[in-house]
Each structure stands twice: as structure tokens, then as C-alpha cells.
Amino acid sequence: MINKSKLPNVGTTIFTVMSALAKEEKAINLSQGFPNFDAPTKLKALVAHYMKAGKNQYAPMQGAPELNQMLSKKINHFHGASIDPFREITVTAGATQAISNAITALIHPGDEVIVVEPAYDSYVPSIQLCGAYAVPYTLQAPDFKINWADLNRLFSRDTKMIIINNPHNPTGKVFSDEDFQELIRITKGTNIMILSDEVYEHLVFDGQQPRSVLSYPELRERSICTYSFGKTFHATGWKLGYVVAPPEITQEIRKVHQFNVFSVNAPMQYAIAEFSENLSYFEKLPDFFQTKRDFFLDKMKKSKFQPIASEGTYFQLFDYSQISDLDDVAFAKWLTKEHKVATIPISPFCTKQTNAKVVRMCFAKTEEVLGKAARKLAKI
């Protein structure tokens, strides 16, 4: 019945594949990025409270007003930017929908979008669904740093957008001030938009502060920033997030948003707004996750897996070349079946062939689980 697939090269996402294999093999699941601990008790109680209090009908299209206001306050606190809560913030069904909305609203057939890869796997299909082209800029192991002059060479007359992800999934790299200055330099005088996916904004380590394109006025005027409450509240199953963009761009994004979802989950929005009044919750996140990263790295010292420094996110890359010559997908499957630890290969995050012998492990787990996984991996 289907004459022509709109996404002929797309299969099932690697997250579904590896989580299903982990379940089948009864393996420890360090693959798909989600915590094995729960959202804060007080936040869950607030969701129950707002449900009982009758906040169960459609929220306003752009988000519950209390939440938009809280987010504006939070952005001001962390990034020093003054953002209009009602004209520049839209609450979405997770960051995935925010990204899809933004690309659908802003990208036309024939446009080119530069994608820094390895990249979260929703970006490229969203671009392709618009009849546009993803132009990959590939980060190289082991330092995965952007060479801005090389990236600049990919610009063409058709370039409409660059997608960056900071802190970066899966490499754990975080932008320095110099990276932002380079981004300002190469986009100055162009009409190129920046889609800055900042879902891990609070997960930065070793004394760094969260940094956003929103702190840089020259970038802010051309940027669309996406965020996920799933990451910040250990509640990936809630599928709630938001998108921040200048009013003119927000207006276009909402034209799409109002017809593909209209508005999202009301009681959780009111609960998050109230819970977040105390911004100290966000300030504690870096230490909370750094402790897990350091614990896991310490336990993994006994293994032949070589860590590649993670400066942010809740992911740690490991080079496995001392263990196997298998390609990363085959290795991740072998590891799940034979050693009962599921990881994520990074080649599915790339449109170009990569031979890196690297897998990603998620350390958003209890110490008990991290310790158990490290003991299994150290036996190889």
C-alpha cells in the first residue's frame, strides 16, 4: 500500500534495539539514557496534588503560565538572559518534539542543515522529512572537538541552520567560551539559525557552570534552544520539555506545535513550576552526577576499557580496542549477550561510516548497579 517511504534508510532506533536486547538477555542496561532512580518525591507529590486539584484539562498552548514564568526566571538566573515567558518559551512533549517542531517550522525543501555528529538520532530524520539535506560535520575521536574553520567550510548558499548539542550526547564534550566566540564569528552577517540542543545543560562537571547560547546576545537572536525535564527531574517517561526562541521564530514554531500536539500534560506542568521555585535543586545536579561518573570511572580502572574524558551529560565513552576488533554495533550486541552489560554503539549517531571502537555507557544509575556492571566488564 505504501508507494514510497519518506524515510527509506531509517530503521528502529538504537535505543529501542539495545534496551530490548538488554531485557531479553537480562543484562544490566547502561544503554538507553535514563536513570534507574526515581523523580524527587516532593515533585511526584505535587503532580498528585495538581491532579486532585482538578488541573486535568488542556493547558494553554504555549504552556501553563506559572511554568513559563518560572522558566524565564530560571534562564535569567543561570544564563543572565531576559526572556519573555509568553512570547519566547513554549512547553513541549519532550525535547524530541521541540526539535521536530523547530525543524518542521523553519526548514524548507532543498535547505541544508549542518549537523555536528555523532548526533542524537532524531535530528537527521526530522530534516529529511522536510525535504531538506543534513550536511554532517564529523567529530573525531578521541578529543571530539569542533574545528570551526573546517565546519565553516561546509557553509553554502543553502545553509539555513546548524544543529549543536551542548553538553554533547554521546561524547560528553562541553563548549568552552572560545567555542561560542567561534560560533559567533562564523555566523555573523549570515541568516543561519542555530538549533542548540541543551537537554543536559545542568549536567556539567569539574567546576564548570552551565553555558548556553542564550548568554550570548549575538547568538540568542538567531537561536532556538531545546530542553528536557526528563533529564533534569530523572523522569524521562514524562516526556516534557520546552523550546526557547525569539518571538518571531517562536511564532512560527507554535504554528506547528498547535497542530501536532496543541499543548502538553497539564498537572505535571503546574507541579514542575511549583517545585522549581527553589532553584537550588538545579544547582545540586552537577555534583550529584559527577559523583556517579567518578565512582564508575574508579571501578572501571580494573577493566581494559579506556575512558574518553566526559565533561558533561550522563554518558561516558569507552574505547574497547584492547578487547575486540568487532565493529561497535556487533561489539555492543556481543557484550550484552556474553557479558550481560548493554551499551550504545556510536556509529548509529553518524551518517558517515565510522570505525571508532567506542561504546557509550550511561552512568545515571545507582552505585550498586554501576559497581555490578563494572565488575562484569573488568572480567573481560
Which residues of the shown chain bind ligand GLN in the complex (CB under 6 A)?
Answer: 13, 15, 32-33, 169
For ligand PMP, the closer of residues 113 and 199 by Cβ is: 199
User: Is residue 166 involved in binding ligand PMP (CB under 6 A)?
Assistant: no
Q: Minimum distance from CB of 167 to ligand PMP (Å)?
A: 9
With CB under 5 to 8 Å by kind, the binding choice for 228 among ligand GLN, ligand PMP, none is: ligand PMP
Q: Omega before 286 cis (within 30°)?
A: no
User: Is residue 236 involved in binding ligand PMP (CB under 6 A)?
Assistant: yes
Q: Minimum distance from CB of 335 to ligand GLN (Å)?
A: 16
For ligand GLN, the closer of residues 240 and 249 by Cβ is: 240
How many residues in the chain? 380
For ligand PMP, the closer of residues 96 and 343 by Cβ is: 96
Q: H helices of 148-246, where? A: 148-152, 177-187, 217-220, 229-232
User: Is residue 197 involved in binding ligand PMP (CB under 6 A)?
Assistant: yes
Q: What is the DSSP letter of 213?
A: G
Q: Minimum distance from CB of 15 to ligand GLN (Å)?
A: 3
Main-chain phi, psi angles of 132, to 5 degrees: -110, 175
For ligand PMP, the closer of residues 117 and 197 by Cβ is: 197
For ligand GLN, the closer of residues 267 and 345 by Cβ is: 345
Q: Minimum distance from CB of 125 to ligand GLN (Å)?
A: 12
With CB under 5 to 8 Å by kind, the binding choice for 230 among ligand PMP, ligand GLN, none is: ligand PMP
* 3-state SS assignment for residue 58: coil
Contact with ligand PMP (CB under 6 A) among 128, 187, 228, 265: 228
Residues 329 and 193: their CA atoms lie apart, in Å, by 33
For ligand PMP, the closer of residues 199 and 323 by Cβ is: 199
Of residues 93 through 132, those in contact with ligand PMP by CB under 6 A are 94-96, 120
For ligand PMP, the closer of residues 32 and 187 by Cβ is: 32
User: Is residue 212 involved in binding ligand PMP (CB under 6 A)?
Assistant: no
With CB under 5 to 8 Å by kind, the binding choice for 197 among ligand GLN, ligand PMP, none is: ligand PMP
Q: What is the DSSP letter of 125?
A: H
What is the SS3 assignment for 299-342?
HHCCCCCEEECCCECCEEEEECCCCCCCCHHHHHHHHHHHHCEE
Residues 209 and 166: their CA atoms lie apart, in Å, by 12
Amino acid identity, residue 353? Q
What is the SS3 assignment for 77-112?
HHHCCCCCCCCCEEEECHHHHHHHHHHHHHCCCCCE
Residues 266 and 55: their CA atoms lie apart, in Å, by 6
β-strand pairing of 306-308 with 315-319: antiparallel
Q: Minimum distance from CB of 375 to ligand PMP (Å)?
A: 27
Cell of 242: 520546552
Matching residue, cell 506542568 = 269
Q: Is 119 exposed, middle or buried (0-12, 13-18, 19+ CB in 10 A)?
A: buried
Matching residue, cell 549542518 = 114
CB neighbours (10 Å) of residue 164? Answer: 22
User: Is residue 144 involved in binding ligand PMP (CB under 6 A)?
Assistant: no
Q: Minimum distance from CB of 13 to ligand GLN (Å)?
A: 6
Is 91:62 a contact under the CB 8 Å cutoff?
A: yes
Contact with ligand PMP (CB under 6 A) among 199, 243, 266, 268: 199
Q: Minimum distance from CB of 171 to ligand PMP (Å)?
A: 11
Contact with ligand PMP (CB under 6 A) among 118, 172, 241, 307: 241
Q: Where along the sequence are the contacts to ligand PMP (CB under 6 A)?
A: 33, 94-96, 120, 165, 169, 197, 199, 228, 230, 236, 241
